[in-house]
Structure 1
Amino acid sequence: MSKLHGIILAGGDSLRFAGATGLHKSLAPIADAPLILHVAAMLVRGGAGAITVLTGAAHAAICAGLGTGQLQVRGHAPTHITLRQSAPDLGTAGRLATLPAAMLGEGALLAYTDVLSDAPLADLLALRRSRQAALAMLAVQPDMPWGIARLKGDKITDFTEKPPLDRGWVNGGIFAVSAAILPHIHAPHEMLEREPMARLIAAEQAVALRHRGIWRAVDTTKDHARLNDDLARAALDGIADAQPRLI
């Protein structure tokens, strides 16, 4: 039986993050391990038996920052990690399209390099299979970055500081995909979230798994500091419950 592949998109230049830290976002330390190893560990816990990191302009920096070896996640066999470089100007969909169809096969896990969750990824895989879709997306409702006021005329009737999103669902940056996604990618510059997603929706090939549990995106240095602080207080059990490392 072939291994389930876990694929991480790490081709961006992470300008908003690197400008403040000097590090590519994927290498930002989370509980003393690079963020990308925590993402890889999440995919391993979801069933991935091999990890491929799709890099771009920061390929050399990511290679130097990670070193070599196999990923060790508690309770799982050592997992091989491959860093695969492609052109820096590719979009996320174009980068995905550089993979052989056999790697996606009948199912693979795909994640951005900056998202962590305790979502049941086995359920995400099962949803895609059961619906015979090309893509299943994790849909989340994160906390809003602003306080929300409810108004009646010019009178404030209610105010909640940074409440959870209560209308609509956000792309959680974690997917189950199959090789059937590839025909929906038409150009190397395309971003997965734009034209290919529109084509998938039009073809009724996209489904979503709602998740109301833990989900974090590390988009800024503030997000990074908050995640490390919450982990130090053991406030996020299940999102990074074991220290991933290369052996």
Structure 2
Amino acid sequence: MNETSVMPPAMILCGGRGTRLRDVTELLPKPMVPIGEQPILWHIMHIYAAFGVRRFILCLGYKRECFIDYFMNFHAHRSDVTITLGSSANQVRFHDNIPEEGWEVTLADTGIDTKTGGRVAIAAKYLRPEEPEFFLTYGDGVADIDLAALLALHRREGKLLTVSAVHPEGRFGEIQISGDTVSNFEEKPVQAGGFINGGFMVMKREFVKRHLTGEDAFLEQRPMLEAAQEGNIAAYRHESFWQCMDTPREYALLNHLWETGRAPWTKFWKHA
């Protein structure tokens, strides 16, 4: 396989409890909370699919059965179906093709209370030998990000990790950037005036071996801080739309944008 000819797989962190969206996530894990008729996870996967990603590794934990049910019955929920009943001839025929034809989705059980770094380390066993790098993101944020440009910068800079730097509200981990290199990482400063890590990262497998072994750690704490201090994190500046779904207000905003046909994160989609 030529490294530049096939897009890396996308690993998506889906195991958290989503406590700040408690009214909704008591019934559903946050990545399964719907925007329109489909969960936000589906929207995130389509952001990647628009750039040719066809392989996904989902790091599951809280309410993992919701993801299993959704993907096991994915085609049935998107198509008219004819079912022939009977013990000897139980057959299912789908009448419609789906845009997601050919997607490969690995549902990886990474534990109920495992921290984000531990989830990546566990799910990394599903990376193939010919995959030296992979996309990595959270299961609760969307953006109109140019993933081809992100990957190109990652390969050009040669760092172990490339993060997408976005402008936030002031309650996330702030990153300091010098040129295209992250020089420091501070989790949740009191006031944020610059960039934060918006997810949509590219990680080399070497990062997992060097920073995510032997300890169940939050990716955003010791592992990223160590890599930043080593000069091993690059930053891709994304100045356009980015939005997480962390509160009821943000949940309502994303649904309003979708329902009114003004969802910026579909910018690169070939279909909506």
- TM-score tier after normalising by the smaller chain length: 0.7 to 0.9
Is the counterpart of residue 4 in structure 1 residue 8 in structure 2? Answer: yes
Query: Aligned ranges for residues 123-162 of structure 1 at < 5 Å?
Result: 123-142=149-168
**RMSD of the TM alignment (CA)?**
2.7
**Structure 1 position 117 matched with structure 2 position 152:** no
Residue identity matched to 1:231: W
Contact 1:4 1:47 in 2 (8 A): no
Q: Report if the CA contact (8 A) 2:165-2:196 is conserved.
A: yes
More relative contact order in 1 or in 2 (CA 8 Å, sep 6+)? 1
Q: Quick one: which amino acid aligns to residue 32 of structure 2?
A: L
Q: What percent identity do the matched residue pairs reach?
A: 25
Distance 2:118 2:170 in 1: 31
Instruction: Report the CA distance shift for 1:59/1:238 in structure 2 as closer, same or farther (over 3 A).
Output: closer
**Following TM superposition, by how much is the alpha carbon of 1:89 offset from its aligned partner in structure 2, in angstroms?**
2.2
- 2:201 pairs, out of 167, 175, 193, with 175
CA distance in 1, matches of 2:73, 2:136: 21
Letter in 1 for 2:125: P
CA distance in 2, matches of 1:144, 1:59: 31
Query: Structure 2 matches for 1:189-228, cutoff 5 A?
Result: 189-228=216-255
Q: Is the 8 A contact 1:6 1:109 kept in 2?
A: yes
Query: CA shift at 1:209, angstroms?
Result: 0.5
Q: How does 1:1-247 map to 2 (within 5 A)?
A: 1=1, 4-20=8-24, 22-69=27-74, 78-98=102-122, 99-100=124-125, 102-103=127-128, 105-142=131-168, 167-182=193-208, 183-239=210-266, 242-243=271-272
| Distance in 2 separating the partners of 1:73 and 1:220 | 31
**Structure-1 residue corresponding to 2:182:** none
Distance 2:102 2:143 in 1: 21
| Structure 1 position 187, deviation (Å) | 4.0
Distance 1:17 1:122 in 2: 32
Distance in 2 between residues matched to 1:191 and 1:128, nearest whole Å: 22
Structure 1: which 5+ runs fail to align? 146-164
Amino acid at match of 1:135: L
Change beyond 3 A, Cα 1:133–1:226: same
Question: 1:234: how far off?
Answer: 2.4
Which residue identity does 2:111 align to in structure 1?
A: A
SS of the residue corresponding to residue 216 of structure 1 reads strand
Residue-by-residue CA offset, 1:145-198 (whole Å, 9 max, x unaligned)? 9xxxxxxxxxxxxxxxxxxx9931011011011101111114442111111001
Report if the CA contact (8 A) 1:34-1:66 is conserved. no
Task: Give the direction of change, closer, same or farther, for the CA distance of 1:102–1:79 in structure 2 (3 Å limit).
Answer: closer
Letter matched to residue 166 of structure 2: V
- Measure, in 1, the Cα distance between the counterparts of 2:111 and 2:167: 33
Tell me the TM-score normalized by structure 1: 0.80
- Name the SS for the 1:82 alignment partner: strand
Q: 1:214 to 1:137 in 2, by over 3 A?
A: same
